Amino acid sequence: MSLTDKAIEQIRELIRTGALPPGSKLPPEPELALQLGLSRNLAREAVKALSVARVLEVRRGDGTYVTSLAPSLLFEGLGGAVELLQSDPGALLDLMEVRRLLEPAATALAATRISNAQLREIEGHLYAMRDAQDDVEQLNAHDAAFHRAVVAASGNESLLTLLEGVSGRTLPARIWQGRVDSLAASRTLAEHEAIFTALSHRDPALSQAAALLHVSSTERWLREHLRSAEATQGQRQP
């Protein structure tokens, strides 16, 4: 572990123990360095790194504060990392596996907590999907909004942020599916209707099964088309 990493860990420990709770202001740099037994350069580098990670917020002319430490802040970099992975077919399939593991469980949880207002919101996205069957990009945009609303109904912000980072970035794959598979829209609608019906009955087991069927169907399609594309590319090579 480098000296900078050790300095970062020392500040993290102050936050973990509650010595620096969310929203609190850090001591001025000279005082912080003295308190932690660091040089001012090391303290500055540690603060800079934790600012990039959204753990700290530097306010010019005011000082440095601990952020809210909300999952949406701390997991903010996940989506960008996932986007970089999508150029690798193997990594894209790994992401689909992660979605298959998490989203059905989140949907089951939503079934036990969903409110009538949240059900109406999800139903609204479903109606919008029906109206957008001939517009692949619009259909997929409403598809993403449908899933976000379902996971949001779980009441688990960490789970929502994680799935936003993974599922939200697989949108190009779903658009691709709609463009090359004329039956994709009708299948997608039927699968989403099954999820909504299960949520309407507030049945966690049925909701989980419906979500698993939908995600597995998308993953299976993606595997088949990646395999077909790879075979086609192999045939073209001399």
d(C-alpha 88, C-alpha 229), whole Å? 13
Angle, nearest 10°, between helix axes 204-236 and 89-113?
Answer: 170
Least confident of 18-27, 66-75, 173-182, 183-192: 173-182
Average pLDDT over residues 36-58: 93
Q: What is the mean pLDDT of the chain?
A: 88
What pLDDT score does 235 carry? Answer: 60
Please tell me the distance from the alpha carbon of residue 63 to that of residue 26, in angstroms, as a whole number.
7
| SS3 category, 57 | strand
- pTM of the predicted model, to two decimals? 0.76
Range scoring the smallest mean pLDDT among 31-45, 73-87, 183-197: 73-87
Assign 198 to helix, strand or coil. helix
- Using the structure block, give the residue that is written with the tokens 């139903």: 123
- What pLDDT score was predicted for residue 229? 65
Secondary structure class of 66 (helix, strand, coil): strand
The average pLDDT across 74-86 equals 71
Judged by DSSP in three states, 56 sits in strand
d(CA 99, CA 104): 8
* The CATH fold of domain 74-236: Four Helix Bundle (Hemerythrin (Met), subunit A) (1.20.120)
pLDDT band at 90 (very low <50, low <70, confident <90, very high): confident
Residue type, 42: L
Over residues 188-213, the pLDDT tens digits come to 899 999 999 999 999 999 999 999 99
- In the chain, the percentage of residues whose pLDDT exceeds 90 is 57
Distance CA 133, CA 36 (A): 60
The domain ranges of the chain are 3-68, 74-236
Give the pLDDT mean for 25-48.
93
Give the pLDDT confidence score for residue 153 in this predicted structure.
98
| Average pLDDT rounded to a whole number, residues 153-182 | 78
The CATH code that applies to domain 3-68 is 1.10.10.10
